[in-house]
Amino acid sequence: MLNNEFVKKVNFFLYKKKHLIIYIIIGLTSLIFELLIRKFFSSYLQISGAYLHLSVIFGIIFAFYFNVKLNFNVPKIYLKRSLIYFFLISIGSYLFQYLIRKKIELSNLNFEESRIIISGCFFLIAYSFHIKFSFSDSRKVGVAIYANGYEDIKKIFEKIGPYPDFIHVDIVDKTLNNNAPDTNLSKLEVVKAYWPQHNIETHIMSKDPLNLIENNIINCSDIIYIHHEILNREKVVEKIIEQKKTPGLVLHSINDYENLKEVIGDFKEILILSIKKPGFSGQEFNHNSLKLIERINALNTRKKINVCVDGGIKSNLINKFTSEKIVSGSDVLNSQNPIRKIMQLQTVARYEK
């Protein structure tokens, strides 16, 4: 029998390559579609010469549509940019392949056969460019872990493995939640040890977080989120930046932010807390969050901001708002199949019946 650890590694490898596998299937299908259009042009519309190359545009549109529909979860605000990159990369690849075909002697092959062979050789190259540019804004999913004395990080890792795109660590003290258990900042070191290749995003739920930002948080965090309403906000941000970490701003969905643009200021990372009470796990999604997200998405500076939505997230809610990242805690960790739950969030449950 195969070693269980080996099976896990194979499953995770296939999972990480899911975009490539689906991309190849869509690519081959779009190539066949393109060649059928080309044949239709030449046989029925009597189009010839350079005009036959127009068929490649149909193939590109086909490939982009199904990659967005079935493969990459691109937020709506980035679709136009994604399409432009996809079109430019695909046209560039086609022209390069066409020039190569002219240089190589393929006299025993017709256009369709040579197109399939040469295009197949360029699939991985084109894919790497599309990942870097066309689909770089695909939505990421993080799992929330509380930094307290009760969370068993090892058990959580056994449940979710390396499947989340990032790990979100919640720190809450009694200034924001009277019933909050004592924080255990050493848990961040444990989290980083279990997920060394993942970004760690730390959310400090405290009215006065200045004293909490110590070595455990600084060394283990990539982004440190603080609430807008805290004391000494400028000092806290300055301390985070001094340690060469990225500060993030938390906006609570129960609050009205009249001067939203001024509130956000220079922050590039915004977290929408989409539950009513900070520091309580298992709450329902607060639908007032949708209005706040819409207001942020309407800002003329929106494309300079990464929005993360945290709290009460379920797969049936994701299509109701646009954000770069989402965070789920209890919905994942308390499910019978946490890994499958993460996959549902990452794919917007598009493969579920």
Intervals of CATH 3.20.20.70 along the chain: 140-346
β-sheet bridge partners, residue 248: 225, 269
pLDDT of residue 349: 57
Classified as helix, coil or strand, 115 is helix
- Res. 79: pLDDT tops 50: yes
Strand bridging mode 223-227 / 246-252 = parallel
| Rounded Cα gap, residues 303 and 297, in angstroms | 8
Task: Give the CA-trace dihedral at 116, 22, 321, 58, to 10 degrees.
Answer: 20
Q: Which phi and psi angles does 282 have, rounded to 5°? A: 85, 15
Question: Mean per-residue pLDDT for 75-84?
Answer: 92
Dist CA 350 CA 353 (whole Å) = 8
For residue 182, what pLDDT is reported? 81
Q: Give me the pLDDT at residue 142, please.
A: 97
pLDDT tens digits for range 211-248 = 888 878 999 999 999 999 998 899 999 999 999 999 99
pLDDT at residue 279, as a whole number:
79
Condensed to tens digits (0 to 9), the pLDDT of residues 255-294 reads 999 999 999 999 999 999 999 988 778 899 999 999 999 9
CATH superfamily, domain 140-346, is Aldolase class I (3.20.20.70)
